[in-house]
Amino acid sequence: MFFPLDENTSITKNEALEILNLQDNDLSKLIEAAYQLRTKYKGNRVNIQLLTNVRSGNCTQNCAYCAQSRDSEAPIEKYRYVEDKKLYGDNDLVDEFHLSRHCIGLSGIHFADSDIESLAERIRKMKKNGTQICCSIGFLTEHQAQVLKEAGLNRINHNLNSSRRFYPSICTTHTYQERIDNLRMLKRIGFEICSGGIIGMGETKEDVVDMLFELKEINPESVPINFLLPVKGTRLAERDISALTPEYCIKVLCLARLMLPKSDIRCAAGREVYFKGHEKTLFKIADSIFASGYLTEGGQSLEATFRTIEEAGFTWQVESA
């Protein structure tokens, strides 16, 4: 099978499906093709993001995978605003270790202008050292997005999560189209975009392909691919994840790299579970990860993440200018 090796050669939906259906023992050529693109556009560095959950729980939405949703009975900590000490402490860590980005997540879908003003105030403080900041947040009004832009926020995360067809199976309190419209508005006013999905929620391979084609249209700077961590107390707690073999997860990341070669391809939630022992291969494809856990789930510590990257033959440090 032919694999595209630059940003100008695109693949069809059928070819994308063929990639997801490749025999596991035919993977080496696919990985090498992804690696060539990764090296060409991203060098040898693994970008590390640190994630702070600024607002946790009590969301009005019913996203099936999410511990913070209105339907979730997961015993998570719930708060309206994380303590400043934690937020600024995390930001200091990002600066001290020259990590790529501080990502901040807020549960919820709509926000009062006063909440956005307080967030903007905190962003202004954190931007004093020039930290790159990304905010994962629901639907903003154009005015609210402008307020955050003026505060210096660089990037916004808003995931498509899956295909348009499958989306109603995981969420019925808002629509896929609202997500697309929100991303278009954010892009129009000049934000960098971070948008990706979750694999393993019961979707078909066609759904994965369709989601990646939707993402290709949006062309985000960053594409986080999460692999489902079924959280106790959520609707997907008992979801069968046996199809999430390392080989399948690798194929999904390779396809994302081939289709969006210049974007950051982030192996997000699930890295520590599904890629354990496969980090050398993982970093040949993905150039971006989180350290120190996810919104409501733990993860690999910062120090252990540094070691994992170095042992795999990659670097997390800024490459010399």
Q: How many helices (H) and strands (E) does the chain have?
A: 12, 9
Task: Give per-residue burial for 36-65: e unless 16+ CB within 10 Å, then b.
Answer: bbbeebbeebbbbbbbbbbbbbebebbbbb
Is 267 catalytic? The answer is: no
Q: Which of 164, 219, 227 is nearest to 194 (CA)?
A: 219
In whole angstroms, how close is the CB of 85 to ligand SF4 at the nearest point?
Answer: 23
Burial status of residue 74 (CB atoms within 10 A of its CB: 0-12, 13-18, 19 or more): middle
Residue 205 has a CB neighbour count (10 Å cut-off) of: 18
Among 53, 68, 157, 234, interactor with ligand SF4 by CB under 6 A:
68
The yes or no reply on residue 234 touching ligand SF4 (CB under 6 A) is no
Please give the Cα distance from 229 to 136 (Å, whole number).
19
In the bound state with ligand SF4, the residue whose beta carbon lies nearer, of 72 and 131, is: 72
Is 249 catalytic? The answer is: no
Which of the stretches 18-26, 65-73, 238-246, 254-262 binds ligand SF4 when contact is defined by CB under 6 A? 65-73
The yes or no reply on residue 63 touching ligand SF4 (CB under 6 A) is yes
The yes or no reply on residue 103 touching ligand SF4 (CB under 6 A) is no
Number of residues that bind ligand SF4 (CB under 6 A): 9
Among 116, 122, 138, 193, interactor with ligand SF4 by CB under 6 A:
138
The yes or no reply on residue 69 touching ligand SF4 (CB under 6 A) is yes
In the bound state with ligand SF4, the residue whose beta carbon lies nearer, of 71 and 206, is: 71
Of the candidates 135, 171, 194, 254, the residue annotated as catalytic is 194
Which stretches of the chain are assigned E, i.e. beta strand? 47-55, 101-106, 133-136, 155-157, 192-194, 197-199, 222-227, 264-267, 288-291
Of the candidates 38, 101, 122, 134, the residue annotated as catalytic is 134
Please give the Cα distance from 192 to 153 (Å, whole number).
9
Is 171 catalytic? The answer is: no
In the bound state with ligand SF4, the residue whose beta carbon lies nearer, of 177 and 245, is: 177
Of the candidates 101, 122, 257, 266, the residue annotated as catalytic is 266
Q: Which of residues 30-59 bind ligand SF4 (CB under 6 A)?
A: 59
Calculate the alpha carbon distances from 154 to 82, 130, 244, 256, 293 in Å. Answer: 21, 10, 33, 23, 22
The yes or no reply on residue 66 touching ligand SF4 (CB under 6 A) is yes
In the bound state with ligand SF4, the residue whose beta carbon lies nearer, of 39 and 172, is: 172
Of the candidates 38, 55, 63, 235, the residue annotated as catalytic is 63
In whole angstroms, how close is the CB of 161 to ligand SF4 at the nearest point?
Answer: 8
In whole angstroms, how close is the CB of 61 to ligand SF4 at the nearest point?
Answer: 4
Task: Give per-residue burial for 243-280: e unless 16+ CB within 10 Å, then b.
Answer: ebebebbbbbbbbbbbbbbebbbbbbbbbbbbbeeebe
Locate 110 and state its tokens. 């709509």
Is 63 catalytic? The answer is: yes
Among 52, 107, 182, 226, interactor with ligand SF4 by CB under 6 A:
107
The yes or no reply on residue 253 touching ligand SF4 (CB under 6 A) is no
Is 135 catalytic? The answer is: no
Which stretches of 165-298 are assigned E, i.e. beta strand? 192-194, 197-199, 222-227, 264-267, 288-291
The yes or no reply on residue 109 touching ligand SF4 (CB under 6 A) is yes
The yes or no reply on residue 74 touching ligand SF4 (CB under 6 A) is no
Binding site residues, ligand SF4, CB under 6 A: 59, 61, 63, 66, 68-69, 107, 109, 138
The residues assigned a catalytic role are: 59, 63, 66, 103, 134, 194, 266
